[in-house]
Amino acid sequence: MAQESPKNSAAEIPVTSNGEVDDSHEHGFNRDLKRSLPSGLGLSETQITSHGFDSTKEGIIDAGAFQGSSAPPLPSVMSPSRVAASRLAQQGNDLIVPAGGQRTQTKSGPVILADEIKNPAMEKLELVRKWSLNTYKCTRQIISEKLGRGSRTVDLELEAQIDILRDNKKKYENILKLAQTLSTQLFQMVHTQRQLGDAFADLSLKSLELHEEFGYNADTQKLLAKNGETLLGAINFFIASVNTLVNKTIEDTLMTVKQYESARIEYDAYRTDLEELNLGPRDANTLPKIEQSQHLFQAHKEKYDKMRNDVSIKLKFLEENKVKVLHNQLVLFHNAIAAYFAGNQKQLEQTLKQFHIKLKTPGVDAPSWLEEQ
């Protein structure tokens, strides 16, 4: 009695009456095939060997008769359908087998290089490190200069102009302070004269026998108060112009001078550092430090030259502006004082018109919105 050949689950392929492969069992075949394949193995390298099969082929499963049987071998060849092959091929496209045999799976998507990733915390730490190093070098340079051990870069012409500017600022501040004191005292005198004129006018109405005498004094005090108000307007205009010159224009120039001095200290600090490195030995360890120090020195030298040029330009324009402003203000101050003490009311009023000064009537506020309507 002939022995029946054992059947393999992968070899049991149902066919239709026309001899075609039944596609209804295609999904079951794919599931069994995926279970039998190792994870990460593509279709192009799939080789399935079953007990009793004579050979292995890619994408073909040969089912032969059981060895030892007296019956002739019955080859059964199965070719998976095109749909299943395409699905397995798509799965295999995502698998890469390196030369070493280790299987790795790649995923599609944007590629990010690790070198390009920037950490904000590391950037801040680097900024703090650079700031600390720069502060240390500048502090060392300042201490060395005060102790007389370090050298400093000096522009004699520019330094002389800066010293003159600072000295002039102190003198202008003193003039400004004295002018403000004069304005305060003149205001108090004008206020007293106005009150005195009102008192004389009141007595001229109540004292019939001294009516004319009180009236003359009342008119004189009121005229002096009026001229004093005009002079006060001129002095306040002088104070405002000088204050703008001293506390804004000159102060802005001195701020640029401070930036220039800071740039000079940094330049000298890195110059000293470069000189110390050049005096030392030159080997593979010190050459990169010398190149980096040379680069930093050149950068600070350019900054120092730029700030020196800016200070020179600002000093030039400041001198021109100062002469123009002070010329007009000194002429105003002189003419107003001279006309006031000469009793020339017309000349005093003409001086204010010449410099476009408008006086504010004392004791009169701006009209309200109801009065304007």
Residue-range domains of the chain with CATH: 226-357 (1.20.1270.60)
Judged on CB neighbours under 10 Å (0-12, 13-18, 19+), 136 is exposed
Query: Residue 117: helix, strand or coil by DSSP?
Result: coil
The phi, psi pair for 150, rounded to 5°, reads: -100, 160
What is the model's pTM?
Answer: 0.59
Q: What is the pLDDT of residue 287?
A: 87
**Cα 199 → chain centroid:** 66
**Proportion of the chain in helix, strand, coil states, percent, rounded to 5:** 65, 5, 30
Kindly tell me the burial class for residue 152, based on how many C-beta atoms sit within 10 Å of its own C-beta (0-12, 13-18, 19 or more): middle
Inter-residue contact 175 to 242 (CB < 8 Å): yes
Q: Give, for 203, the enclosing helix (H) or strand (E).
A: helix 156-206
pLDDT at 286: 80
Looking at residue 81, its pLDDT comes to 52
Q: How many CB atoms lie within 10 A of CB 246?
A: 19
Q: Which residue ranges of the chain lie beneath pLDDT 50?
A: 1-13, 15-21, 37-80, 92-116, 363-364, 369, 371-373
Query: How buried is residue 49: exposed, middle or buried, by Cβ count under 10 Å (0-12/13-18/19+)?
Result: exposed
CB-CB contact of 333 with 357 (8 Å):
no
Q: What is the model's pLDDT at position 238?
A: 94
* The predicted structure's pLDDT at residue 253: 94
